[in-house]
Amino acid sequence: MSKEITSRAADYSQWYNDLVLKGELADYSAVRGCMVIKPYGFALWENMRDALDKMFKDTGHVNAYFPLFIPKNFLSKEAAHVEGFAKECAVVTHYRLKNDPNGGGVVVDPEAKLEEELIVRPTSETIIWNTYKDWIQSYRDLPLLINQWANVVRWEMRTRLFLRTAEFLWQEGHTAHATKEEAIEETEKMLDVYATFAEEFMAVPVIKGVKTESERFAGAENTYCIEALMQDGKALQAGTSHFLGQNFAKAFDVKFSNKENQLEYVWATSWGVSTRLVGALVMAHSDDQGLILPPKIAPLQVVIVPIYKGDEQKAQIGVKVDEIIKELKALGIRVKYDDNDNARPGWKFAEYEMKGVPVRLAIGARDLEKNVVEVARRDTKEKNTVSLDGIAGYVQQLLADIQQNMFNKAKLYRDEHITKADSWDEFEKLLDEKGGFISAHWDGTAETEEAIKEKTKATIRCIPLNNSQEEGKCILTGKSSSQRVLFARAY
């Protein structure tokens, strides 16, 4: 496969696909809309997952595992959930194959039809709340703070690697509480966890807010979200945290006896992020040479490439590199030495740039004599010749600098792309010419929101938390408004 990448300017969408495929994050599969996450992409996801998992556990959550299948009738139990949730689901109707009597391989056994169809989980509120019914009797059983790492399936018509796939990996937290206040606090706490993760690990700045009523999760009383901005000026929802009220408790009859021994319905939250975050990561930072991965979650943080002629030089360099690797590993740095004879240094440089490895060390015979090494950073492409004395500490600091620089750069871009619009013309012009978030007044009705979406494909990404209140007029209808909201075209 050619390692040429389409430039962002030429075709942003193709650039993204090139990066995912040629950066070896994922591949298409034989199953419509499903992807294969390749080892390099999966290592990235593992680092993201492990960092999130630690944050969940540090905030008191435990993991569990619920069934892949949901009985069809469960999806009918919560009225808003059934009404609002997308119906594109994989449906299991049979439980057995048999050998084709005509010799055509295997066929579905028509005798093995399920009495009730099973739905491959698109999300697990229903099966989990049906289980919680058995687990919750008393206030002593609360709160229940459970998370699940799982695969889910939504039969999307138009799919894109990581961003929208029929099957994807995610985590879904499902918590149960004795009071409304506590459930809202949990919803907000997990939004904060997501925002912290996005900013500190992914180096992607996010805006915290709440969705409008029409963009809420089906069955939620309030949906909080974090919104990120991609380099093409489109927004991407990077995580959601839902306050579910007592809706699922009522649908599945989950009550607890409170301290006064009275029965009350349980309060609920759910919150999730998915492999979609990998797509966000790629689009937020990378350039026309390939991926740029933030050091904290990069599968490989440092690659060392030897530059040599002949086995003797290679051996000499190898001895020194062993020392360097030992020092780097002692600091917990993920490092690889690529002394493969089958590729030239220049090819290797391009390869690791493509893969977004944050730091590259190149070391030749003359460097060895001078006790130096060439250090290249992926984010800015700067190169420096650095003394080998104390190189590990230098690299450690450099990784921290890269992490911070990536965040700063993304934040600068994001901040420059939050623009106020005070008229419809301005709004449309900004959308078409500049992109990004547009802060504008809206009259608060679903009709206007829908009309704006139809005219421009822009949606209200969120009403920012702690949004400043100001009087104004809706950009579309001119009706009065008490606050600006953030619009954008989005993934």
* List 17, 151, 456, 477, residue binding its own copies (CB under 8 A): 151
**Closer of 106 and 315 to its own copies (Cβ):** 106
Rounded Cα gap, residues 183 and 198, in angstroms: 23
Dihedrals phi, psi of 79, to nearest 5 degrees: -55, -50
Write the DSSP symbol of residue 342. T
Pairing of strands 383-387, 372-377: antiparallel
* Nearest distance in Å: CB 234, its own copies: 26
73 binds its own copies (CB under 8 A): yes
Contacts of 102 (CB under 8 A, 6+ apart): none
Q: Is 70 in the site for its own copies (CB under 8 A)?
A: yes
Q: Distance between CA 52 and CA 44 in Å, rounded?
A: 13
> What is the contact mask toward its own copies in residues 188 to 207, using x (rule: CB under 8 A)?
--------------------
CB count, 10 Å around CB of 133? 15
| Residue 472 within binding range of its own copies, rule CB under 8 A | no
CA distance 244 to 48: 26
Nearer to its own copies, 38 or 411 (CB): 38
Applying CB under 8 A, which of residues 15, 74, 170, 427 lies at the interface with its own copies?
A: 74
* Interatomic CA distance for residues 224 and 312, integer angstroms: 61
Binds its own copies by CB under 8 A, chosen from 13, 60, 62, 400? 62
User: Binders of its own copies among 161-190, rule CB under 8 A?
Assistant: 167, 169
Q: What distances in angstroms separate CA 351 from CA 23, 291, 395, one per listed residue?
A: 8, 10, 20
Q: Give the binding range for its own copies (CB under 8 A) out of 88-96, 177-185, 232-240, 413-421.
A: 88-96
Q: Does 408 bind its own copies (CB under 8 A)?
A: no
What does the per-residue mask of binding to its own copies show for 92-131, with x meaning CB under 8 A? xxxxxxxx----xxxxxx-------xxxx------x--xx
400 binds its own copies (CB under 8 A): no
Size of the site for its own copies (CB under 8 A): 69
Scan for tokens 């911070």, then name that residue.
Answer: 404
Q: Quick check: 455 binds its own copies (CB under 8 A)?
A: no
Tell me which amino acid residue 119 is: I
Per CB under 8 A, 292 contacts its own copies = no
Strands 335-337, 302-307: pairing is parallel
The answer to whether the bond into 306 is cis (omega within 30° of 0) is: no
66 binds its own copies (CB under 8 A): yes
Task: Map residue 327 onto helix, strand or coil.
Answer: helix
Q: Which is nearer to its own copies, 114 or 386 (CB)?
A: 114
Q: Which of 10, 54, 140, 470 binds its own copies (CB under 8 A)?
A: 140
- Identify the residue among 11, 88, 323, 382 touching its own copies (CB under 8 A): 88
In this structure, the number of other CB atoms found within 10 A of the CB of residue 62 comes to 10
Residue 121 CA to residue 142 CA, distance in Å, equals 25
- Contact residues for its own copies, defined by CB under 8 A: 27, 29-31, 34-39, 42-43, 45-46, 62-77, 82-83, 87-99, 104-109, 117-120, 127, 130-131, 134-135, 140, 146, 150-151, 153, 155, 167, 169, 342
